[in-house]
Structure 1
Amino acid sequence: MALRLTLLASSRSSSVLDVRFADSRSLDAAGWDEVKRAGPSLSHLAAAELRYCSPSVRCRETAHALSLTPVAQPALRDCDMGRWSGYTLREIAAREPQAVQAWLADPRSAPHGGESLMTFIQRIGGWLDTRPVNDGSWIVAVTEPGVMKAAVCYVLKAPPKAYWQIDAQPLSVVTFSGRVGDWSLSLEN
């Protein structure tokens, strides 16, 4: 048997129109309501041998609301967006349109002074590949949607531009199974 690793995207901390880079806000009312409604269908996640979360407030709150008692993992933090942190894409595009175009077009670009998309995907892949490999064990991590997208790119060995084609909705779940460098993506119902 292989290691099984399930990622759960955190609940929301803002409306879609107000999504900010490196959003450090708490869950909003809609986010708390989502977790409460989804709780029964996600309660099985508490059976995992190891439970982690991204260090953000919304990931910790989502995990605790689901009684997962996670350990925060700094390696699971969202992409470092440098000086763009706290702003929406619309706000940055109005101020730095050429920088935004460069960032979206080139996965090695980091005009904001933080991590490039390529570096971010590699960091998340490195975390996946350093999980304890005990056959049959199960790990659950509540993460930022971006972390989930980066993990999917890494596992599928997809080109970094595929990151922009993945939509990780709040409380969505993806499970990987395998070992270092040999992961498979599992679709569950």
Structure 2
Amino acid sequence: MGMSVTIAAADEDDAEEILKLQYLCYQSEAELYGDYSLEPLTQSLAALRAELGAGRVLAARLGTEVVGSVRGAVDSEGTAVITGLIVHPRLRRHGLGGRLLDAIEEQLAAESAVRYRLAVGRRSEISLRLCRERGYIPTGGTERVSRALTLVTLEKPVAEVPALAASR
């Protein structure tokens, strides 16, 4: 490829590019579930901008192009809810999704998260595999979003970093 992908905080100027990428990335999910009314395909730019201000949003860039993104926020109980993990179709299967997940976990851990939680479509095998490989386990919780789409909730505890534990 020639250039390496960098991951950094997204800002307001990235919102439109992230929204376009989200729309592109969720086409395959919509096809898988036969449902083109999935929330990521109908989200407005204003709603995405609100998410940018409410939590952490990371963007992966290849040069100046946004080729991936992930969002997360820590609630009052210490649960870091991770959403919106997307990778441009041409860059899938190269480890970028895992890098984005690792990066958002690291940032959310710094905000006193005690567990990570995310939801994945029951038929989304690639996403489920990525989560399992990273230590997430199903909680038993599911949410029926539509006739075809059921989300599976997965969690994992925040691992204590040995260097931090030693300094306490």
TM range (shorter): 0.3 to 0.5
Looking at secondary structure, tell me which structure has more strand per residue. 2
Looking at secondary structure, tell me which structure has more helix per residue. 1
Provide TM-score, normalisation by structure 1: 0.31
